Amino acid sequence: MTKRVAIFLSGGGSNMRALAQSMVGDHPARPCVIVSNQPDAGGIAWAKEQGLSTLVVDHKPFKGDRAAFEAEIQTHLEAHAPDIICLAGFMRVLTPAFVRPWAGRMLNIHPSLLPKYPGLHTHARALEAGDIQHGCTVHEVTEVLDDGPILGQAKLQIGGTATSDALAARVLKLEHQLYPQVLRRFAAGDRTPVMIQDTQD
């Protein structure tokens, strides 16, 4: 049966677009709702243009009450009956109470080769460390931030990429390849990790 996918974002949503655009034809899943904590997120405007359902729950009025913010999302999410949640640049940390019921059904993309560099500023940290390789990871979401079984990684050679902005742009291109490939497999019930090497290397 076709899987229903909720995609969560906070910004431009380029990963969400790559995912949504990939779910066509014989793909085993379809997007059911695009969720954001940012009312003015570019990704929400795009989703509306495409005729996709959207759900915006602004975190700011909840003043740090994560449980209440998440309860509001959960209440409205149920109407869309998702089978899978894809976090795609969703910049709020979700509490264990939200994550637990979705165990094994929630994915995240992170801009580093996990377990290296969980958290923020991953590109600058890879450059500062003098790493030769960098990239991105799609993993199952567990109660630990940027942790959980790895479902795919895309790698590049840092080479002469001198700035973290330039590195971020290279990694983002790889993210757009990796996440749709992982989701396709995952939705078909296959958790074999997808491994990609940047063709520019």
Residues annotated catalytic, as ranges: 110
Q: Name the residue with the smallest CB distance to ligand GAR.
A: 89
Least Å from the CB of residue 46 to ligand GAR:
10
11 contacts ligand GAR (rule: CB under 6 A): yes
User: Per residue in 82-109, is it b (16+ CB within 10 Å) or e — as a string?
Assistant: bebbbbbbbebebeeebbeebeeebbbb
* Structure letter (DSSP) for residue 80: G
Contact stretch for ligand GAR (CB under 6 A) within 26-34, 66-74, 109-117, 190-198: 109-117
- What's at 13, amino acid-wise? G
Site for ligand GAR in 146-175 (CB under 6 A): 172, 175
Least Å from the CB of residue 30 to ligand GAR:
19
- The answer, yes or no, to whether the previous bond of 28 is cis (omega within 30 of 0) is no
Tokens of 91: 């910049």
Distance, in Å, from the CA atom of 123 to the CA atom of 177, rounded to the nearest integer, reads: 18
180 contacts ligand GAR (rule: CB under 6 A): no
Number of residues forming the site for ligand GAR (CB under 6 A): 14
135 contacts ligand GAR (rule: CB under 6 A): no
Site for ligand GAR in 58-97 (CB under 6 A): 88-89
